[in-house]
């Protein structure tokens, strides 16, 4: 398939000679054939010529959840990857949120086979412990050999500090990446929202910032003792950012992410008791949001993730106490970040970090496979249910201001467009 992108603005800070320049890009059989001021189409070539069209390297999400296997009504792998492609993401890391959870090499092979021949590449994680129950380490080495890029008991904190220590020591033998969800459940108890003025006013059980920060402090002490590589997903508090910044200055191999919605929303949105805002970690205070934004800009926070979590309607349309945690986010992450940070910082965030997981970084140069995201930058709008592509509709972003729209993506010699 031949594709010609006409008069596209290239957003790629790694190639200064092309950054923010308008060019035509010709793609032949999945490979970038030419980048010129003007290219005339010839033969059977699909021409994409859209006003204000921009292009960057394909985007990467460090943590998404689909439903398959076990919860296909929430999201199949096929539709999840199509949603990702239409949302501009050409690589996604798949969380261990299915049923059964993947804790063996055969489970990893199943997930990779289910994702074959899609535009967006799926990179599965394996459980850190058997069934994610936090008691016995899973088959980490076998899963690594089968294609697992890290080990994570999805949103289940590791209560056993010694088991985390052993995991970090063992995984060093094969350069394994160990995840630890930042929550001390003995502190969080039955909390469901951030502990503070809003939770008190609404009469909702709170989760103190301390619950996150205490777990992170413990994990960083263990990492300093053991060495190895530790990933702390979806941090949400100001002190968490400080703890990780200090650890990085010490030279520890620690990486972290923040969910896009935790960068822009505070717990004040909970006043309507809308269960779409019930997420884990919870929405925090304005001071926390400001600290997260600063952490993203100075590099303390390595990734901004959609934290895409599709859920059945009956898991959200219940009383706030009984609703499940989670929101979809693939469709809204770009518009949310562009509204907050502007296009250059947004694209830098969405394209960096594959190397942490051992994924080859794409290049926007002639002769390289085309791995590209297509988007506009100036369209201002409010996100609505009509823009949801997922099978589930539990979006925290409905009604929120967005800037810029995703047109589609190109990868694996495939093109997916939203229009």
The count of other CB atoms within 10 Å of the CB of residue 62 is 28
| pTM to 2 decimal places | 0.96
pLDDT at 419 over 80: no
DSSP string spanning 180-212?
Answer: -----HHHHTT--EESSHHHHHHT--EE-HHHH
CATH class of 2-55+365-417: mainly beta
pLDDT confidence band for 218 (50 / 70 / 90): very high
Query: What average pLDDT does this structure show over 170-188?
Result: 98
Say which residues have a Cβ less than 8 Å from residue 11's Cβ, sequence separation at least 6: 19, 20, 54, 55, 56, 343, 344, 347
Q: Are strands 45-48 and 2-10 parallel, antiparallel or unpaired?
A: parallel
- Read off the pLDDT band of 277 (50, 70, 90): very high
Average pLDDT, the chain: 97
Task: Please name the residue that has the structure tokens 């798949």.
Answer: 94
Are the CB atoms for 214 and 184 separated by under 8 Å?
yes
Give the model's confidence band at 307: pLDDT under 50 very low, under 70 low, under 90 confident, else very high: very high
**Which is it for the CA torsion 29, 30, 32, 36, positive or negative?**
positive
Local confidence band at 42 (pLDDT 50, 70, 90 cut-offs): confident
**Mean pLDDT across 158-167:** 98
Tell me, what's the pLDDT at 15? 82
Give 88-104 pLDDT, tens digit per residue: 999 999 999 999 999 99
- Per-residue pLDDT of 163-175, as tens digits, reads 999 999 999 999 9
Enzyme catalytic residues:
307
pLDDT band of residue 1 (cuts 50, 70, 90) is: confident
Domain coordinates of the chain in residue numbers? 2-55+365-417, 59-357
What is the Cα–Cα distance from 75 to 234, expressed in whole angstroms?
22
CATH class, domain 59-357, is: alpha beta
Helical ranges in 227-304 per DSSP H: 238-249, 260-264, 286-298
* pLDDT of 323: 97
Of residues 132, 44, 49, the one with CA closest to residue 95: 132
Reported as a single tens digit per residue, the pLDDT across 315-329 is 999 999 999 999 999
Question: Both tokens of residue 33?
Answer: 């054939």
pLDDT at 416 over 80: yes
């Amino acid at each position: 398939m031949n594709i010609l992108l006409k008069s596209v603005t290239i957003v790629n800070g790694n190639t200064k000679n092309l950054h923010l320049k308008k060019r035509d890009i010709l793609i032949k059989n999945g490979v970038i054939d030419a980048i010129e001021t003007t290219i005339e189409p010839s033969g059977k070539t699909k021409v994409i010529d859209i006003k204000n069209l921009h292009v960057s390297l394909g985007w990467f999400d460090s943590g998404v959840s689909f439903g398959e296997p076990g919860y296909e009504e929430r999201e199949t792998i096929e539709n999840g990857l199509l949603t990702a492609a239409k949302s501009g993401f050409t690589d996604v890391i798949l969380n261990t949120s299915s049923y059964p959870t993947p804790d063996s090499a055969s489970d990893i092979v199943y997930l990779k086979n289910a994702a074959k021949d899609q535009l967006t590449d799926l990179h599965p994680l394996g459980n850190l412990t058997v069934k994610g129950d936090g008691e016995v380490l899973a088959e980490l080495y076998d899963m690594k050999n089968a294609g697992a890029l890290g080990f994570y008991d999805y949103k289940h904190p590791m209560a056993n500090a010694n088991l985390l220590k052993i995991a970090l020591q063992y995984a060093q033998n094969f350069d394994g990446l160990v995840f630890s969800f930042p929550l001390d459940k003995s502190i969080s108890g039955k909390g469901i929202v951030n502990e503070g003025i809003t939770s008190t006013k609404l009469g909702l059980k709170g989760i103190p910032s301390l619950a996150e920060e205490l777990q992170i402090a413990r994990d960083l002490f263990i990492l300093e003792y053991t060495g190895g590589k530790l990933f702390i997903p979806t941090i949400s508090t100001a002190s968490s950012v400080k703890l990780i910044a200090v650890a990085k200055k010490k030279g520890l191999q620690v990486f972290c992410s923040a969910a896009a919605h935790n960068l822009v929303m505070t717990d004040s949105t909970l006043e309507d008791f809308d269960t779409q805002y019930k997420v884990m970690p919870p929405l925090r205070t304005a001071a926390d949001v400001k600290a997260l934004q600063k952490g993203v800009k100075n590099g303390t926070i390595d990734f901004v993730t959609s934290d895409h979590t599709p859920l059945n309607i009956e898991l959200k349309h219940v009383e706030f106490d009984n609703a499940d945690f989670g929101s979809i986010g693939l469709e809204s992450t770009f518009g949310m970040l562009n509204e907050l940070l502007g296009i250059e910082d947004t694209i830098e965030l969405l394209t960096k970090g594959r190397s942490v997981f051992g994924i080859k970084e794409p290049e926007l140069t002639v002769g390289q496979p085309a791995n590209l995201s297509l988007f506009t930058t100036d369209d201002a709008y409010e996100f609505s249910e009509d823009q949801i592509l997922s099978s589930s509709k539990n979006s925290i972003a409905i009604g929120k201001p967005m800037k810029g729209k995703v047109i589609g993506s190109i990868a694996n010699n495939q093109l997916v467009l939203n229009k």
